[in-house]
Amino acid sequence: MRSSEANQEQMILLGVPRVQYGPEGLTPFPACLRACANYIGIDVSYDYAMAASGAAFRLTWDETQWNLGNVDSVFTYDDPERVFRQGIESTGCSFRFLGRENSTKEEFIAFIKPQIDKGIPVIALGIIGPPEACIVTGYRNGGNTLLGWNFFQDNPELNRDVTFDQSGYFITDRWWDNPETLAVMALEPADTGKADVKTILNNAIDAMTGRKCGVYAKGLLAYEAWIKAVADDSDFSEDMIMPLLAERLFTHDDAIDCIADGRYNAAKFMKKAAEQYPEQRALFEKASTYFMEISKVSAKLYEVLGGWERGEKQMRNFARADVRKRTVQLIREAKEYDEKAFAIMKQLADCLK
């Protein structure tokens, strides 16, 4: 149920669904998109938000370093804004975006307040912690203090200046001091309707197409860059200091999470699409099966490490040559399934009206 608390200096939207890492999803932007769309009365599932934004089909690897930012959905396409624009417009909403570059705090506040006053949450990048998507659900002190949901709001390393509302929303007046607060974006219902399956397929093909963009290998090409990094024995030793091991394991695990969450929801989307297109049902179901196989491979990738946890045990295991050799075999297996699904999607895109 939607409700709000308001006066001249504050407006708080109550009942906006919480977003957080967990079984329901691991990708911040689509999770925020689903929560905001549902709050304003647009029925959007997480798998639809993942597929329609393109995030379900992404994979990115920085070829120059172990980069903890690889997993960010902003890298789905070569145009950083595309995943956000595409996701929001796929819900039948118009898209507006304000970036930090050449903008002021006052301009951000002027962007946020009218949306909240209209009863529409705002999606932001940053606010607390890294520049991942979060939701602004309200403001106080004329906009100098923001409230909302953030994936990192309970992280003690990042929330030292954060307090909490009785609703559970974070409260912070230091959001502009965070240099990772990079953008705000708005979604408002329009008359365009949701994206059709053919459009989503074509956008997915763009995301999965192997290519290089700056220092990044993207799409199917990212698998080879990931494999090369994992197989490089010179980059590992069993007596390596823990911070370096953590950097390597976390980057690797993020890539696993990316294909686990992404391809699982791609499989769900394809399964639903099969019901809409009985003539192409067999192709959609085959694509769904291949994507689901990747989700199963991701579970094996964690088993090889000794579990999904990111502790010392997994770090030490990842440094072992035999563990990384098996890991490379599994990454290749995931790539082969992705290539098969990719080929089927191109078939489907060509035959759908």
Closest to 229 (Cα-Cα) out of 250, 204, 200: 250
Predicted pLDDT at 191: 84
According to the model, what pLDDT value does residue 8 have? 67
Q: What architecture does CATH give domain 3-189?
A: Alpha-Beta Complex (3.90)
Where does the chain have alpha helices with state H? 28-39, 46-53, 82-89, 105-117, 197-208, 221-231, 242-276, 281-305, 312-318, 321-351
Model pLDDT, residue 267: 98
Measured in degrees and rounded to the nearest 5, phi and psi for residue 171 equal -130, 125
DSSP 3-state of 279:
helix
Q: Which amino acid would we find at residue 74?
A: V
Q: What is the pLDDT of residue 325?
A: 98
Give Cα separations from 280 to 64, 91, 274, 343 (angstroms): 42, 24, 7, 14
Q: Which of 156, 163, 157, 116 is nearest to 135 (CA)?
A: 116
CA gap 348, 336 in Å, rounded: 19
Task: Look at the block and give the residue holding tokens 């995301």.
Answer: 207
Q: What pLDDT score does 263 carry?
A: 98
For residue 4, the model assigns a pLDDT of 55
Torsional class of 199: left (φ above 0), alpha (ψ -120 to 50), beta (otherwise): alpha
Q: Are 129 and 152 in contact, with CB atoms under 8 Å apart?
A: yes
**Backbone phi, then psi, for 134, in 5-degree steps?**
-145, 180
81, with CB counted inside 10 A (0-12, 13-18, 19+), is middle
Q: How far apart are CA 171 and CA 156, in angstroms?
A: 15
| Global pTM value | 0.94
Residue 212's DSSP bridge partners are 217
Q: At 210, is the secondary structure helix, strand, or coil?
A: coil
Tell me the C-alpha distance between 243 and 329, whole Å. 26
Q: Which helix (H) or strand (E) holds 164?
A: strand 163-164
**What are the structure tokens assigned to 215, written together?**
């220092």
SS3 123: strand
- In angstroms, what is the C-alpha Rg of the chain? 21
The pLDDT score that the predictor gives to residue 239 is 85
pLDDT at residue 5, rounded to an integer: 57
The tokens 């290749």 sit on which residue?
332
- Domain assignments of the chain as residue spans, ordered by start: 3-189, 220-351
Phi–psi pair at 319, nearest 5 degrees: -75, -15
* Segments in the chain below pLDDT 50: 1-2
